[in-house]
Amino acid sequence: MFKKLRNRFLIVNLVSISIMMLVAFATIYIITYQNVQRETNMELFKVSDFYHGPYNSSKMPRGDDRDSVTGSQPSDSIANGALGSDPNSPPGRSVSFMVKTDSEWKITDAHSRFDMDDTFYTEALQKVDKVNDLDRKTGQFTLNGTDWAYVIDPSSTGHMIVFIDVTAQQGILTNLIYTFAIVGLIMLIVIFFLSRYFANRSITPVKEAFEKQKQFIADASHELKTPLAIINTNTDVLLANREDTIENQAKWLHYIKSETERMSGLTNDLLYLTQIDDSRSSMIHAKFNMSDAVETIILTMEAVIFEKNISLDYSIEPQLMVHGNSEQIKQVILILLDNAVKYSRAKGSVNVSLKKQNNDVVLAVSNTGEGIAAEHLDRIFDRFYRTDASRARKHGGHGLGLAIARSIVEQHKGEIYARSVVGEGATFYVRLS
């Protein structure tokens, strides 16, 4: 499922980027093409104006329609040296030649600075798109591997066609296409691997959340399965002895009640976790006395600690203030102290300390017991996670206490973590500001 999601992300990303690249490249190409064509036409008309000068004694009149096409001044500028110092040579920037024809498109005159065969003029004329109107016409063609642009200037006696070599300009456009193709291909390859990397990173949290949800459902089902099986079995026993008195069946009823209470505690914890995770259920936070909160929880646990024959030592700095919800923090303290008592060895000890460190208030709850192995320290705050399931069930736990504590502390922008030495005990720390 996640592989398909990643592939869809890649496809959408690549298609979107490809379309944007095509639009960008097409825009650049069109702008470049228009600039090249404009420069080509300007050069073409300049050369044409030159040939209208020294090689056409009867110049054709150039009125408004001609100026509107060329966008330039009449050929007076040519006489002033704008196109070259030699009046007998066309502008030297382009390879050019001129062909004159009669009204039947037969060559009557030709001129070029270079030696060209008559057959070349004939072949060039054959490539021209011949029209018989009074407007200037331009066009392009390829002859013997060379790109030529031409302009047709009609006159009363025939036509004058001026040709210039535009191979370099066409080469620019061709190279631009190749460059775009190569750059686009390289960019797509780079973008593919970058998109794949970020797609994997983006999907990882979703995948982890999905796996945790699956594990959560499996663990919750497992936790509910055992008490339901016990309740079902004891109910069958009661039904099999219908004639017996309630007093004689009290043992089975107590088992049912015990497991019912266990299920009730589990469902309450699950609901509480859901409320904490739900951003809509925001608790009121305010300054409260953390020292008083810890002392209150210790007082409520003293009887249980005494009954288990465990010694309790505590060191609490007075008047330590914390910003948060006092009831939730008290629940965190109760969870940590209850776990410390449950998992302490016989005739062991529990130590609670609360002190100020820099700008934070640090609570430490430690006990003497079997401790927690290093590979479990990072996972003990996960829901339903227990280092010893059978021992935890014997103590009545279902692996949600530390998960609740972590959720509360994280909601308070604090930190909770554990340190342990196997065979000596464990210490849980809560850091709040």
Q: What is the pLDDT of residues 3-59, one digit of tens each?
A: 787 788 888 888 888 899 899 999 999 999 999 988 888 888 888 888 876 544 443
| Contact partners, residue 204, CB within 8 Å, separation at least 6 | none
Question: Looking at residue 61, what is its pLDDT?
Answer: 36
* Distance (Å, whole) CA 214 – CA 233: 28
**For residues 433 and 431, what is the distance between their CA atoms, to the nearest angstrom?**
7
Backbone angles phi, psi at 147, to 5 degrees: -95, 130
**Closest C-alpha to 433, from 412, 417, 402:** 412
Q: Give yes or no for residue 330 having a pLDDT over 80.
A: yes
Q: pLDDT value at position 49? A: 81
pLDDT value at 238 more than 80: yes
Summarised one tens digit per residue, pLDDT across range 281-295 is 566 788 999 999 999
Packing angle between helix 290-307 and helix 326-342, nearest 10 degrees? Answer: 30
Residues 302 and 299: their CA atoms lie apart, in Å, by: 5
Note whether 362 and 431 are within 8 A (CB): yes
The one-character DSSP state at 405 is: H
Closest to 142 (Cα-Cα) out of 151, 150, 131: 150
286 with 323: CB under 8 angstroms? yes
- pLDDT tens, position by position, 377-396: 888 888 777 766 555 555 55
Does position 186 have pLDDT exceeding 50, yes or no? yes
Q: Higher confidence at residue 92 or residue 378?
A: 378
Residues 397 and 338 sit within 8 Å (Cβ to Cβ): no
Cα separation of 314 and 333, whole Å?
Answer: 13
